Every structure is written in structure tokens, then in C-alpha cells.
């Protein structure tokens, strides 16, 4: 194959919505360099797997996908398989040594020149595997010095600083509404330069990898918190905010491509602006985003309870277009155990925060995650957690069982609980939370909701029997992918299209999913 012949790449994305943004930035960079983006890894010269390194199960899933893709070499067009993302950044050469099936393991610093790296790999000249290190050391300790100090530091999903513009990859239309979790574009991408390239100003380096009516939009990277159980800051680095002009420019770009809902993502959205000299900057950014043409809803994710300010609650509850949705990372409710986790708060403080949210937005959606089985956790701690969950009436709660993460403080703790005890506690609280979430969904019967349509049945809708496919959407209190959906009978909504927003009333539930009819 000649160096000038167009080569193809498939991006396989695992993990969280932040990884989805990173993949779309990589897709934009590669498309701008002449690569053909394809859906199926079997149809690509090289498969790039954007891995997750969050918890043990996510690591295993990432390795399984890499092995599966590597096994297809020789049985498909795929010649090479490359690991990128959090697992690659976190383990680098160790991963390469233990997984020789992968043809290269590249860290975040490789993203800006990914095209050259992939061409070299296809030509048999793979770059040396990434050498991992603590990325917190790449930036100044003082947050206010980081914007200047971040020049030259890779911040995936930030699209690079404002400066000379680059060609922008065109949007990729969805063909089947498939979830992007392990998907690349449904069709090859035509790269276009939309108008003259400006000499300076915000630039968007991104290609849409799906046709969903919502899109994640990264507002910051990294985290300055030192939770004892979490390794994310070590491989994602210290907290850095994206500049508002870059965020708004990308929001406009998304709005022009049919996106109706922006899902603001980061490792800690409540810290946004602290390194820009304005801790209240998120409250000022939100109305700018809701004013972007085409954007109907803005959703904020990942709020740290210790950093939530009344002004932020006021803004999220009152700015038109910002949905009353509060993704709050409680993690536990025992004050004693939270201190051991290097976190703050407790049952009463958290219930007080929830009361403040509901005083401003009585129908707000509130979701969280909790960890059970942390070292030293007692039955008294579990009683505190159970009492909190029963009183809190949260819409959705994810349950994680504690496991040691390399390099974390908790890895050094004594009082570790046996694996079977952790598993029993996960099972116990999963059952409790499932029942509580079902009750919370039933409380919403009779509510009027605005539903963003995400998929519509195609073809003959039949006679309206119960087994007929439903229109699927999300009400404002339902976040993407993991918070349940709202189901609409297609015969009640003729002519609906993906991206429409309809006014409905909840009449029933199916698990945590809602069933709604025209209001």
C-alpha cells in the first residue's frame, strides 16, 4: 500500500461519556488527515480501541475487546490493533508486555499526532509503547497557574487550545440508532472545510460517531481531589478547565449537526472555573450554552457534594433550558467511613443537600453512586447508608463493590473485607436500591414530562399490541444510557422523529422506565 493511498480506521469506544468525547476528537483528527472512518473494525486497516481503566471489571472488558479485535486479524481486513485510552495511559509498557496481541499501546500524548503513529504502525514501524507516569506532575500545583502551564500538555477532549484553525470533520449520520459504546461511524466520513479557515479563534476538532440527538461535551479534565479509592487523577491528571469560548464553539458545532441536548462531562464539574479565576464560571457558562441555536437542553454531570454551592443550585434550577438533573457523587453516607475515603459529609448533610435541591426543583432527577465493602466498613456504616438511601428517594443509584486500585491510598489500608463479604454487600444493596428506584419511578406517575425522542420504530407499526416496538426517549430527569427511559406508544404520536421533544404525562412504569401518553 502506498503512503498516499487512503487508509481506514475504526474507533471502538469503551467506558464513560468522557471517553466518547476523546474518541470523537481522535476521529476528527484522523479524518482531517485523510483517514476513512468506518463502522466495523473488520472493514478497517487498523482498529483503535479506546480503553477504560476505571475499575477491575472495566479493565477486563477492555482487554477482552483488544483480544477479540486482535483475533480477527487475518480473518478480516484488519491488519493492526492499537490500544489507547485510560488503560493504555495507566499501564503503558506493562500492558504491552502482557498483551502482545496489541500492535501498539499509545498514551494521551500520542493523540495529537495519531495519524502519523497509525501510518507507522501499518508500515511495520510501531512507536515505542507508552511509559506511564503520574500526570498530576505535568501541571503546576496552583490551579491559577495551570492555564499557562498546560501548553504542550495533552488534554484529550479539549480539542487543543484556541489558535490556528484546522479542517473540521463532517458529522456522521446515524443509520440504525446504535449506541456508541462500542461503535464507530455508520458510514465513511467525507471531510469538508466549511468555509474559509480563520487565522485564529476557537477551533473544533471532532467528528460525530453517531446520530443521537444528544452529545457529551467536555468542560474540564482531571481532578484535584484525593479520594482514597480512586486512581483517576494519577492518569487523567490535575484539574484543568476548558476555556468558555472553546466550549461554546463546540456547542455551536454540535447544534449545527442536529444535537438537541448537551451533556456536560468532566471528572468534577463543580470545580469548573477555579483555574480560570472564577469558581462561579459554570453558572455564567450555562445560559450561553442554552442560547446556542438548535440546543434545547443542557445537562450537567458529576457534581461533588462538598463543592456544590447555592449559586450553582440556583442556576441549575432556574436557567431556562438547563434541566433539573443532579448527578451527585455521594459514594457513602457514613461520616466515619467517608473520612477514611478522604471525603466529606454524611447522612444528615447529604439529606440536607437533597432538600435544598428539591426546594428549588421539586421534580428534579437526582442520581448517585455508592461503594460498599470499603476497608473497615462496619454494619453500623451500612445502617447509615441504608437509612440515607431510604430517606433520599433517589431516581437511580449505581452500586460498586470495593476493590484495590493500583497506587491508591486505600490499597495500603488494613481491615480489608473478604471478597465474598464485599460481594454479599453488593448484592444486598443492589436489591435494596432496585426496590427504592422502582418506588421512585412509581411516584412519577401523573407527572407531565418533556421527552426527547431518541429512537422511533421503523416500518409497519402493526395493530398496537403490547409487543409492538415503542418510541424511546428521555424525560428531563433521565440522564443518557443509565438512568432509564420514557416509552411512548407510536400510534399515539404519529410522525415523530428522532430529536423531537414532546409533552407527555406518565401513566405507568416498566421497572425504572416510564410509560407516557400525550399530555
| Cα distance between residue 26 and residue 28, in whole Å | 5
Kindly give, in sequence order, each residue whose CB lies less than 8 Å from that of residue 458, ignoring residues fewer than 6 positions away: none
Name the pLDDT band for 72 (thresholds 50, 70, 90): confident
Compute the residue count for the chain.
Answer: 519
Task: Give the chain's domains with CATH numbers.
Answer: 8-132 (3.40.50.12160), 210-443 (3.80.30.20), 448-518 (2.40.50.140)
Residue 345 three-state SS: coil
- pLDDT value at 51 more than 80: yes
Mean pLDDT in residue range 496-515: 96
Asked if residue 258 lies in contact with residue 220, where contact means CB atoms within 8 angstroms, the answer is no
Q: Residue by residue, what is the 3-state secondary structure of 29-76?
A: HHHHCCCEECCCHHHCCEEEEEECCCCHHHHHHHHHHHHHHHHCECCE
In this prediction, residue 58 carries a pLDDT of: 77
Asked if residue 144 lies in contact with residue 9, where contact means CB atoms within 8 angstroms, the answer is no
In angstroms, the Cα distances linking 317 to 273, 366, 396, 424 are 20, 12, 19, 38
CB count in 10 Å sphere of residue 70: 20
Asked if residue 4 lies in contact with residue 32, where contact means CB atoms within 8 angstroms, the answer is no
Place of cell 496552583: 142
- pLDDT value at 126 more than 60: yes
In this prediction, residue 351 carries a pLDDT of: 98
Could you tell me which of 15, 28, 232 has the C-alpha nearest to residue 136?
232
Of the two residues 199 and 97, the one the predictor is more confident about is 97
Asked if residue 485 lies in contact with residue 395, where contact means CB atoms within 8 angstroms, the answer is no
Kindly give, in sequence order, each residue whose CB lies less than 8 Å from that of residue 459, ignoring residues fewer than 6 positions away: none
Strand 46-51, strand 80-85: pairing: parallel
Kindly report, residue by residue over 267-288, the tens digit of the pLDDT: 999 999 999 999 999 999 999 9
Q: What are phi and psi of 493, to 5 degrees?
A: -135, 65
| Cα distance between residue 131 and residue 328, in whole Å | 34
- pLDDT value at 424 more than 60: yes
Amino acid at each position: 500500500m502506498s503512503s498516499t493511498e487512503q487508509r481506514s480506521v475504526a474507533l471502538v469506544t469503551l467506558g464513560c461519556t468522557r471517553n466518547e468525547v476523546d474518541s470523537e476528537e481522535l476521529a476528527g483528527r484522523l479524518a482531517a488527515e485523510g483517514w476513512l472512518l468506518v463502522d466495523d473494525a473488520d472493514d478497517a486497516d487498523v482498529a483503535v480501541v479506546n480503553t477504560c481503566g476505571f475499575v477491575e471489571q472495566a479493565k477486563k472488558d477492555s482487554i477482552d475487546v483488544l483480544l477479540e479485535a486482535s483475533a480477527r486479524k487475518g480473518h478480516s481486513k484488519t491488519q493492526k490493533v492499537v490500544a489507547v485510552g485510560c488503560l493504555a495511559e495507566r499501564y503503558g509498557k506493562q500492558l504491552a508486555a502482557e498483551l502482545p496481541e496489541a500492535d501498539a499501546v499509545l498514551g494521551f500524548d500520542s493523540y495529537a499526532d495519531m495519524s502519523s503513529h497509525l501510518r507507522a504502525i501499518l508500515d511495520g514501524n510501531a512507536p515505542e509503547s507508552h511509559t506511564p507516569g503520574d500526570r498530576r506532575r505535568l501541571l503546576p500545583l496552583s490551579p491559577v497557574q495551570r492555564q499557562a502551564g498546560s501548553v504542550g500538555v495533552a488534554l484529550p477532549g479539549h480539542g487543543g487550545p484556541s489558535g490556528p484553525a484546522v479542517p473540521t470533520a463532517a458529522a456522521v449520520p446515524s443509520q440504525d440508532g446504535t449506541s456508541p459504546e462500542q461503535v464507530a461511524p455508520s458510514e465513511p466520513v467525507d471531510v469538508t472545510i466549511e468555509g474559509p479557515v480563520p487565522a485564529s479563534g476557537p477551533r473544533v476538532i471532532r467528528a460525530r460517531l453517531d446520530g443521537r440527538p444528544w452529545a457529551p461535551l467536555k468542560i474540564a479534565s482531571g481532578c484535584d481531589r484525593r479520594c482514597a479509592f480512586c486512581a483517576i487523577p494519577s492518569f487523567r491528571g490535575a484539574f484543568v478547565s476548558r476555556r468558555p469560548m472553546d466550549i461554546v464553539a463546540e456547542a455551536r458545532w454540535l447544534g449545527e449537526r442536529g444535537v438537541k441536548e448537551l451533556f456536560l462531562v468532566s471528572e468534577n464539574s463543580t470545580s469548573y472555573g477555579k483555574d480560570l479565576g472564577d469558581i462561579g464560571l459554570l453558572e455564567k457558562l450555562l445560559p450561553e450554552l442554552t442560547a446556542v441555536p438548535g440546543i434545547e437542553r443542557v445537562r450537567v454531570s458529576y457534581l461533588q457534594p462538598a463543592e456544590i454551592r447555592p449559586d450553582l443550585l440556583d442556576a441549575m434550577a432556574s436557567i431556562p433550558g438547563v434541566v433539573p438533573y443532579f448527578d451527585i457523587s455521594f459514594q457513602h453516607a457514613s461520616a466515619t467511613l467517608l473520612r477514611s475515603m478522604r471525603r466529606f459529609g454524611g447522612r444528615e448533610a447529604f439529606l440536607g443537600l437533597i432538600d435544598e435541591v428539591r426546594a428549588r426543583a421539586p421534580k428534579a432527577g437526582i442520581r448517585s453512586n455508592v461503594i460498599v465493602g470499603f476497608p473497615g466498613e462496619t454494619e453500623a456504616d451500612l445502617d447509615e447508608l441504608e437509612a440515607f438511601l431510604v430517606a433520599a428517594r433517589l431516581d437511580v443509584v449505581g452500586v460498586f463493590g470495593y476493590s484495590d486500585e493500583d497506587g491508591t491510598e486505600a490499597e495500603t489500608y488494613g481491615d480489608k473485607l473478604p471478597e465474598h463479604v464485599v460481594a454479599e454487600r453488593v448484592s444486598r444493596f443492589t436489591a435494596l436500591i432496585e426496590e427504592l428506584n422502582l418506588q421512585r419511578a412509581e411516584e412519577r406517575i401523573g407527572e407531565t414530562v418533556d421527552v426527547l425522542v431518541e429512537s422511533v420504530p421503523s416500518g409497519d407499526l402493526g395493530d398496537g399490541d403490547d409487543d409492538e416496538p415503542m418510541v424511546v426517549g428521555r424525560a428531563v430527569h433521565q440522564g443518557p444510557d443509565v438512568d432509564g427511559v420514557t416509552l411512548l406508544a407510536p400510534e399515539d404520536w404519529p410522525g415523530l422523529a428522532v430529536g423531537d421533544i414532546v409533552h407527555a404525562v406518565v401513566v405507568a412504569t416498566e421497572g425504572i422506565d416510564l410509560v407516557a401518553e400525550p399530555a
